[in-house]
Amino acid sequence: MKVTIYGSGYVGLVTGACLAEVGNEVLCVDVDADKIARLKRGEVPIYEPGLESMIARNREAGRLSFTTNPDEAVAHGLFQFIAVGTPPDEDGSADIQYVVAVARTIAERMSEYRIVVDKSMVPVGTADKVRETIEEIQRQQGSEVAFDVVSNPEFLKEGAAIDDFMKPDRIIIGTDNPRTTELLKALYAPFNRNRERLFAMDIRSAELTKYAANAMLATKISFMNELANLAEKVGADIEQVRVGIGSDPRIGYHFIYPGCGYGGSCFPKDVKALERTARVMGYEAELLSAVENVNSRQKRRLFEKIDHYFKGDLGGKTIALWGLAFKPNTDDMREAPSRVLMESLWNAGARVQAFDPVAMDETRRIYGERVDLQLVNDPLEALEGADGLALVTEWNLFRSPDFETMKTQLRQPVIFDGRNLYDPTFVRRQGFEYFGIGRG
């Protein structure tokens, strides 16, 4: 089948590569000419495990190509996927201007039946807006080409995106036309062989399902972080509490890790956008506000612990950071807790020496050259002459470090563990002072 995908970011590229991998002819489109030029040269502008080789394989086979040309884009695919960004507006609601821009691009050039598939994260009612935009342009142009609009939210996780797309937990299709459901079922059949994973529903329910999933996951994290802070006050260890409650199958062990807050391109903006949608509809979503507030507070916890340890005197101190990406296996720094920590340290007059396996270029892009930021090439180098270590992202290579050597590198053997990666008793026995999240 022929598929066009607008937006060659995390979602667009993974969707494009995976659809090409199973035999479709995919054209990926972007307005960023530099990005498309790089993709045409065989470079992949983002880090996502397995993506580079999959793109290369399918480019060589002629099933995956790239363009900035809208005429080519609209002419190519029966399926016109929208996977462009939906960043937060000033008031927290999702800004759908790029989605609407793609709808216009399609409407102005469409000369035969098209299925417009919305994969971007969009507020409930956006599919209607896309449909109205296309109808309006058709009215102005006096054209009457048939089309359908489908909501098909994406559930992939950065860092495991290929696997999530190839073996999805669910494929949500929101449509009011049974024929489009059949066509999308056919497109998704290669990813739906093991058992029925495709749920067809009405468009608004599909749009809300994606928000509900992200808001639930964010709620689990904020709940655990709230309890972690309480555990510190009452002298309990949140890690023991986590194990204790996770054993109840109604609660489960997934996604109940306390830490220094959630970040990334999804949870922070999606929780805010859903809360905003509720407000617009005249409903105060109190739980969602609390989830967001708890998370904002949690992102400051590491700094508070460091500041408290140094008695508010961080001027001239150097803090080593392990991990910059908002989570392991990605270079994505959007809303990353590391950013809140670094910016707070800089405001307090401290220097940062940081290492991350893949997110250092992104950090450079965001902050540029600064005298109070040194990015180094390996974890131990980050510790050289540092007054303490803050562990921010739980990359595998930080899990079992050489504590003996670490002690010789650090000026003061103190660890602030934002992910509770280390066993406090063991680390203290190695001669470190240790501060985790929600544990004594």
- Which residues make Cβ contacts (< 8 Å) with residue 64, sequence separation at least 6? 16, 17, 20, 26, 28, 55, 58
Residue whose CB is nearest to ligand NAD in the complex, by number = 9
**Between 258 and 263, CB nearer to ligand NAD:** 263
Q: Where does this chain bind ligand NAD (CB under 6 A)? A: 6-12, 29-32, 35, 83-86, 98, 101-102, 120-121, 154, 156, 158, 265-266
Minimum gap (Å) between residue 219 Cβ and ligand NAD = 18
Q: To which residue do tokens 């470079």 refer?
A: 43
Q: How far is the CB of 400 from ligand NAD (least distance, A)?
A: 28
User: CB 27 → ligand NAD: shortest distance, Å?
Assistant: 11
The least distance separating ligand NAD from the CB of residue 58, rounded to whole angstroms, comes to 18
Residue 355: Cβ-neighbour burial (10 angstroms; 0-12, 13-18, 19+): buried
Q: Cα–Cα distance between 86 and 266 in angstroms, integer?
A: 10
Which run of H or E residues covers position 139?
A: helix 126-141
CB of 116: closest distance to ligand NAD in angstroms?
Answer: 13
Q: Are 392 and 340 in contact (CB under 8 A)?
A: no
Q: Verify whether residue 260 is a known catalytic residue.
A: no
**Nearest-angstrom CA–CA distance, 304 and 206:** 40
Give the nearer residue to ligand NAD in terms of CB position, either 102 or 306. 102
CB neighbours (10 Å) of residue 428? Answer: 14
Kindly tell me which of 38 and 407 has the beta carbon lying closer to ligand NAD. 38
The smaller minimum CB distance to ligand NAD, of residues 335 and 387, is found at 335
User: Which of 31/201 has CB closer to ligand NAD?
Assistant: 31
Catalytic residue, candidates 18, 28, 260, 266: 266
Strands 79-82 and 2-6: parallel
Task: Report CA-CA distances (Å) from 187 to 79, 168, 190, 228, 331.
Answer: 9, 14, 7, 45, 30
Comparing CA positions, the residue from 384, 374, 368 lying closest to residue 352 is: 374
What's the rounded Cα separation, in Å, for the pair 180 and 188? 12
Report, in Å, the least distance between residue 35 CB and ligand NAD: 6
3-class secondary structure, 375: strand
Concatenating the DSSP letter of every residue in 6-64 gives E--SHHHHHHHHHHHHTT-EEEEE-S-HHHHHHHHTT--SS--TTHHHHHHHHHHTTSE
Of 35 and 305, which CB lies nearer to ligand NAD in the complex structure?
A: 35
Which positions are catalytic?
Answer: 266
